[in-house]
A and B are shown apart, each in its own frame.
Chain A
């Protein structure tokens, strides 16, 4: 984004204007005032980032602009798309506006697509909703769109169903639908949360191109400050249903005015801000025992009618007591599969897994149960990792119940201590998972993993759903506990900055194979492999100036590797 472009944008009339927007959900006894007087303006060719705390009303504001709020929402204020007030449009006019003047990229790409229609059909529909086209024209335009959003082999992908595509591909399909009719405004709600850094970088590139080539105005909702720095011209910070600060990206990110903004930015982990040292120098005999050992492990998923997916290929990996091993790699590279395989939830097709010194295959029956006592688990998705019908307290206590540890009272006491450890109120013990936010749930998962004082913790993306500020707290906790109890930990994450801050050693995964492995500072600061370098360079930093430079560097890496591949 250049200064010139920003200037010209400031001149033109706003394409999206929000004036004193108030949204509330009456919902019986528990009225929620989600948005309490928001003013925003978005001009042609401009990217406005909407950041802020979870639950502050970002998505609701976006939905209001689309006229897609649930019927029970009460909306007051003015919401102009062009010069038409969305809140006063009838159904037919709304329909006419959607897609043509304003498009939306939804947060969860996989559920945003209709599972029973092909990708081509769904994009085609976006076109035919507003234009009279022949079938051939639709096909042609769909192909163009798929190419434009950077989907390889578009002709084939057109006939695919959503479940046959990866999350990143789905996200691009959703973007293709949003831009199909060339709307003046695109609202992108967390378009990259589910994606790893390389795909994230691709999506951002795509949005930037759209803005540049078509002058599309973009309202970008995200919690990733790196993304903000990379893409946004201006930033609005929301908290509790109001905008607490607005300004150019540079100004807000480098010189925040509001204290909330300051706190937010302070909590952002930055890659290269220092890492823990790996305990590698001690002689072999003194080394602490291995708590997890994978030897030439291969994992294949079998699906009838299709060739088996080799998710993990010849992976050898060891975690020792007192050591945190970070496992990084792009989405789908097999990180979670390794974790699951280590736990015996997925059988290894080949190779050996040794858990706390016992061969995985001998972990059946009561003996297996005894060994498993020493294992703590945090699974990737906090929403599904807790039984929705158990209170948080029961969930945390369950490993103790299974292994008959302590009396009822003792268990309750321990639960309270654990909750306190993860900075949750003791009262949370009586709540059900759905009564907690994603971040809170994730912390419950962590508390459960630690409840038996494990020797080995396998943590799969334990902080992905957290605000940066909460994330910071949790990471500190993990480091502290680990220092005290000295458990070994396999820490799976796609956030390199996070890994840098907790891991002693890092393992980089690509397509199920280990491409690089070593002490954290070596791997993340002096990467030997192109792929690692690409990963690191794709991580956006929350500073627009720095980020512009990094982007140029990353593009160079990309070009280089492309050339290497071609050559």
Chain B
């Protein structure tokens, strides 16, 4: 197992390296570069040249990349020119916030979607299943930005149940101290995830319900609830868990919307704002963090899967 994990970590590093190459190349093929955006339209050509020189943008791309890698090895993610902060500071400031929001909404989504999907599979093609299917499709097809607006209109303004702003504190403790303010952003993030997770869960539960071992369990006189949860549920979780690992970039995209509408400055927004002004170091840093998180996420998902499914444990090659 250790060797397997070590191997996976090595591959993860490779993936992250590939990511840096792709991202670096893409960023530097952007027309114009960041000088104008950062310095404003008042900037003189001399100032822009000066800026480009200071940032090293006048060097060959390969040299810039190698320099970047060199700094990266020392844990230096660079400095944001737009924010006047170290990228690592930006990340440490915002990553926990985003993780908290997306983490909680993912947990909520799982907690709802897993039982829901199983329930639907058990009641396949009956009224309840159809109703939930319709609802999940509706949720799935409603863009998050629209959903967020509706949530605010309904539950913050029409019926003022929850604040329209996420907690504004800078610390995790401070954020958690305002659970009511977390409700709408978490719910917005969770709804789409519930829609897709529950479809996966329903599907894999259906597959597993057709398996012979279910019949065996019933033949033993096992209570139906136990058949569903202990036997089918566990087997059906695997695909959902695998998907979770690859879900991180998607979550991140969703985070941008929730963060921007609920006034919650996290990674998604940092990324978006940086993109507006071509703040390369922040863009690179954020993408790197997301990529790393994705790779780690899928690794964790694999390990979790190995924990659940003994067949997987032996199958590593």
Direct contact of A and B (CB under 8 A): yes
Q: Which residues of A line the B interface, CB within 8 A?
A: 66, 68, 91, 95-100, 103-104, 106, 108, 111-118, 122, 125-126, 129-130, 161, 163-164, 174, 177-178, 180-181, 302-306
Per the CB 8 Å criterion, the residue count for chain B at the interface is 29
- Are the CB atoms of B213 and A113 closer together than 8 Å? yes
In the complex, the 4 A-B pairs of residues with the closest C-beta atoms, listed nearest first: A99-B221, A98-B221, A161-B310, A111-B212
Q: Kindly provide the distance from the CB of A243 to the nearest chain B CB, expressed in whole angstroms.
A: 24
Chain B residues whose CB sits within 8 angstroms of the CB of A130 once the complex forms = 221
Chain B residues whose CB sits within 8 angstroms of the CB of A180 once the complex forms = 220
Chain B residues whose CB sits within 8 angstroms of the CB of A66 once the complex forms = 219
Chain B residues whose CB sits within 8 angstroms of the CB of A113 once the complex forms = 213, 216
Residue of A nearest to B1 (CB): A305
- Are the CB atoms of A111 and B211 closer together than 8 Å? yes
- Are the CB atoms of A164 and B308 closer together than 8 Å? no
In the bound complex, CA of A112 to CA of B231 (Å): 12
In the bound complex, CA of A111 to CA of B212 (Å): 6
Of B213, B215, B220, B311, the contact of A163 (CB 8 Å cutoff): B311
- Are the CB atoms of A114 and B231 closer together than 8 Å? yes
Chain A residues whose CB sits within 8 angstroms of the CB of B218 once the complex forms = 68, 95, 98
Given contacts A100-B221, A115-B235, A305-B1, contact A106 B310 (CB under 8 A): no
- Are the CB atoms of A108 and B224 closer together than 8 Å? no
Q: Kindly provide the distance from the CB of B46 to the nearest chain A CB, expressed in whole angstroms.
A: 61
- Are the CB atoms of B223 and A95 closer together than 8 Å? yes
- Are the CB atoms of B234 and A116 closer together than 8 Å? yes
Of A103, A111, A181, the contact of B213 (CB 8 Å cutoff): A111
Given contacts A106-B215, A163-B311, A305-B314, contact A95 B234 (CB under 8 A): no
Q: Kindly provide the distance from the CB of A169 to the nearest chain B CB, expressed in whole angstroms.
A: 15
- Are the CB atoms of A115 and B213 closer together than 8 Å? yes
- Are the CB atoms of A114 and B221 closer together than 8 Å? no
- Are the CB atoms of A306 and B212 closer together than 8 Å? no
Given contacts A68-B219, A114-B235, A163-B310, contact A305 B212 (CB under 8 A): no
Chain B residues whose CB sits within 8 angstroms of the CB of A118 once the complex forms = 310
Chain A residues whose CB sits within 8 angstroms of the CB of B223 once the complex forms = 95, 129
CB under 8 Å from chain A, chain B span 193-250 = 211-213, 215-224, 226, 230-231, 234-235
In the bound complex, CA of A473 to CA of B316 (Å): 44
Q: Flag whether B74 is at the interface (Cβ < 8 A).
A: no
Given contacts A99-B221, A100-B221, contact A106 B314 (CB under 8 A): no
Q: Kindly provide the distance from the CB of A557 to the nearest chain B CB, expressed in whole angstroms.
A: 34
Contact with A along B55-80 (1 / 0, CB 8 A): 00000000000000000000000000
Given contacts A114-B235, A115-B235, A305-B1, contact A125 B222 (CB under 8 A): yes
Chain A residues whose CB sits within 8 angstroms of the CB of B211 once the complex forms = 111
Of A68, A95, A114, A177, the contact of B224 (CB 8 Å cutoff): A95
- Are the CB atoms of B311 and A98 closer together than 8 Å? no
Q: Kindly provide the distance from the CB of B224 to the nearest chain A CB, expressed in whole angstroms.
A: 7
- Are the CB atoms of A99 and B220 closer together than 8 Å? yes
In the bound complex, CA of A104 to CA of B213 (Å): 12
- Are the CB atoms of B215 and A68 closer together than 8 Å? yes
- Are the CB atoms of B231 and A108 closer together than 8 Å? no
- Are the CB atoms of A303 and B221 closer together than 8 Å? no
- Are the CB atoms of B222 and A95 closer together than 8 Å? yes
* Chain B interface helix/strand/loop/mixed: helix
- Are the CB atoms of A115 and B309 closer together than 8 Å? yes
Residue of A nearest to B219 (CB): A104
Q: Which residues of B line the A interface, CB within 8 A?
A: 1, 3-4, 211-213, 215-224, 226, 230-231, 234-235, 308-311, 314-317
Given contacts A116-B308, A304-B3, contact A177 B212 (CB under 8 A): no
Chain A residues whose CB sits within 8 angstroms of the CB of B235 once the complex forms = 114-116
Q: Kindly provide the distance from the CB of A120 to the nearest chain B CB, expressed in whole angstroms.
A: 13
28 pairs, A vs B, C-beta closer than 8 Å? A66-B219, A68-B218, A95-B223, A95-B224, A96-B221, A103-B219, A108-B212, A111-B213, A112-B216, A115-B311, A116-B235, A116-B308, A116-B309, A116-B310, A117-B230, A117-B234, A118-B310, A125-B222, A125-B226, A129-B220, A129-B222, A164-B314, A177-B220, A178-B219, A302-B317, A303-B314, A303-B317, A305-B4
- Are the CB atoms of A304 and B316 closer together than 8 Å? yes
In the bound complex, CA of A273 to CA of B212 (Å): 39
Residue of A nearest to B218 (CB): A68
Residue of A nearest to B308 (CB): A116
In the bound complex, CA of A103 to CA of B215 (Å): 12
Given contacts A98-B220, A115-B235, A163-B310, 15 further A-B contacts (CB under 8 A): A99-B219, A104-B216, A111-B212, A111-B213, A114-B235, A115-B311, A161-B311, A178-B219, A180-B220, A302-B317, A303-B314, A303-B317, A304-B3, A304-B316, A306-B314
Residue of A nearest to B314 (CB): A303
- Are the CB atoms of A114 and B217 closer together than 8 Å? yes
In the bound complex, CA of A398 to CA of B215 (Å): 38
Chain B residues whose CB sits within 8 angstroms of the CB of A164 once the complex forms = 310, 314
Most central of B1, B221, B234 by chain A CB within 10 Å? B221
Of B212, B308, B309, the contact of A106 (CB 8 Å cutoff): B212
Q: Kindly provide the distance from the CB of A96 to the nearest chain B CB, expressed in whole angstroms.
A: 7
In the bound complex, CA of A129 to CA of B221 (Å): 6
Q: Kindly provide the distance from the CB of B236 to the nearest chain A CB, expressed in whole angstroms.
A: 10
Q: Kindly provide the distance from the CB of A28 to the nearest chain B CB, expressed in whole angstroms.
A: 14
- Are the CB atoms of B314 and A112 closer together than 8 Å? no
- Are the CB atoms of A177 and B216 closer together than 8 Å? yes
Chain B residues whose CB sits within 8 angstroms of the CB of A177 once the complex forms = 216, 220
Most central of A108, A112, A115, A116 by chain B CB within 10 Å? A116
Residue of B nearest to A100 (CB): B221
In the bound complex, CA of A95 to CA of B4 (Å): 43
In the bound complex, CA of A163 to CA of B315 (Å): 11
Chain A residues whose CB sits within 8 angstroms of the CB of B219 once the complex forms = 66, 68, 98-99, 103-104, 106, 178
Residue of B nearest to A129 (CB): B221
Q: Kindly provide the distance from the CB of B209 to the nearest chain A CB, expressed in whole angstroms.
A: 11
Given contacts A68-B219, A305-B4, contact A163 B212 (CB under 8 A): no
- Are the CB atoms of B213 and A112 closer together than 8 Å? yes
Q: Kindly provide the distance from the CB of A257 to the nearest chain B CB, expressed in whole angstroms.
A: 34
Q: Kindly provide the distance from the CB of A121 to the nearest chain B CB, expressed in whole angstroms.
A: 9
In the bound complex, CA of A174 to CA of B30 (Å): 64
Most central of B211, B226, B310 by chain A CB within 10 Å? B310
Residue of A nearest to B211 (CB): A111
Chain B residues whose CB sits within 8 angstroms of the CB of A161 once the complex forms = 310-311
Residue of A nearest to B238 (CB): A116
In the bound complex, CA of A66 to CA of B309 (Å): 29
In the bound complex, CA of A299 to CA of B164 (Å): 67
Chain B residues whose CB sits within 8 angstroms of the CB of A97 once the complex forms = 221
Given contacts A66-B219, A112-B213, contact A91 B224 (CB under 8 A): yes
Q: Kindly provide the distance from the CB of B126 to the nearest chain A CB, expressed in whole angstroms.
A: 11
Residue of B nearest to A99 (CB): B221
Q: Kindly provide the distance from the CB of B314 to the nearest chain A CB, expressed in whole angstroms.
A: 6
Chain A residues whose CB sits within 8 angstroms of the CB of B234 once the complex forms = 116-117
In the bound complex, CA of A369 to CA of B307 (Å): 44
In the bound complex, CA of A287 to CA of B128 (Å): 74
Chain A residues whose CB sits within 8 angstroms of the CB of B3 once the complex forms = 304-305
Given contacts A106-B212, A174-B216, A304-B317, contact A117 B224 (CB under 8 A): no
